[in-house]
Structure 1
Amino acid sequence: MLITQKQGFQEDYDKGSQRVIHDIREGKLGRFTLDRYAEVGE
């Protein structure tokens, strides 16, 4: 997993997933929504 290798975690997917969640919460990955497109357009 490229994210874990760059952070020095090697193949630690638990730390990698925690890092992705942290970055999402901090807004580092940009804005996004889990709503469906039809719901957003209304």
Structure 2
Amino acid sequence: MPKNLPSKICEVCGLPFNWRKKWKKDWEEVKYCSEKCRKNKSKIFK
């Protein structure tokens, strides 16, 4: 597994997450680390 994968900070929980193959085409639009955070985007935990 490559160690130099891009990462981002989840806008909901504030935790870092790494690039995943399923996000290859839309990585620029990815804002949430999981479905749970995406569904709870109105409840920011920070």
Name the TM-score class by shorter chain: under 0.3
Q: Which has the larger radius of gyration?
A: 1
What TM-score results when the alignment is normalised by the length of structure 2? 0.24
Higher strand share: 2
Higher helix share: 1
